[in-house]
């Protein structure tokens, strides 16, 4: 179970990093260049997007790295990552897999027994 949590957290964190690059880049682009009609409008709270773009992938990857040795904090970190992505970006076509993988990885880490059965 811990290996599954590690794998899901790592993949979810990498996907969250891609979403974060685009989210952060979009807010900075609109901030620097101004809004472009209905094509590019600034989000209501760009700082929330920027913070989540930075922290969510880090939490997921850190949780995945800890999943084999410290399952409880790892599960909390991965669930916090999933919640951060959902809160900042919502549930959509580009966020559903990072949210699902980080969330499932977090649940598996929390449910893991001491030690893993081989």
Expressed in angstroms, the distance from the first to the final Cα of the chain is: 10
* pTM for this model (two decimals): 0.89
* Domain boundary assignment for the chain: 2-111
Q: How many Cβ atoms sit within 10 Å of the Cβ of residue 65?
A: 16
Per-residue pLDDT reduced to its tens digit, 8-61: 999 999 999 999 999 999 999 998 888 888 778 888 888 999 999 999 999 999
Evaluate whether 5 touches 106 at the Cβ level (below 8 Å): yes
What's the pLDDT at 44? 84
Please state, in angstroms and rounded to a whole number, the distance separating the CA atoms of residues 39 and 92.
19
What's the pLDDT at 37? 80
Q: Which of 3, 27, 13 is nearest to 81 (CA)?
A: 13
Please state, in angstroms and rounded to a whole number, the distance separating the CA atoms of residues 23 and 15.
12
What's the pLDDT at 113? 77
């Amino acid at each position: 179970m811990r290996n599954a949590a590690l794998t899901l957290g790592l993949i979810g964190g990498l996907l969250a990093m891609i979403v974060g690059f685009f989210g952060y880049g979009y807010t900075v682009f609109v901030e620097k260049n101004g809004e472009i009609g209905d094509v590019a409008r600034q989000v209501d709270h760009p700082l929330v997007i920027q913070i989540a773009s930075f922290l969510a992938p880090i939490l997921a990857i850190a949780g995945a790295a800890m999943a084999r040795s410290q399952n409880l904090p790892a599960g909390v970190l991965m669930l916090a990552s999933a919640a951060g992505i959902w809160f900042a970006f919502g549930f959509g076509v580009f966020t559903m897999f990072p949210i699902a993988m980080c969330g499932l990885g977090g649940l598996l880490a929390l449910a893991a027994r001491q030690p893993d059965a081989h």
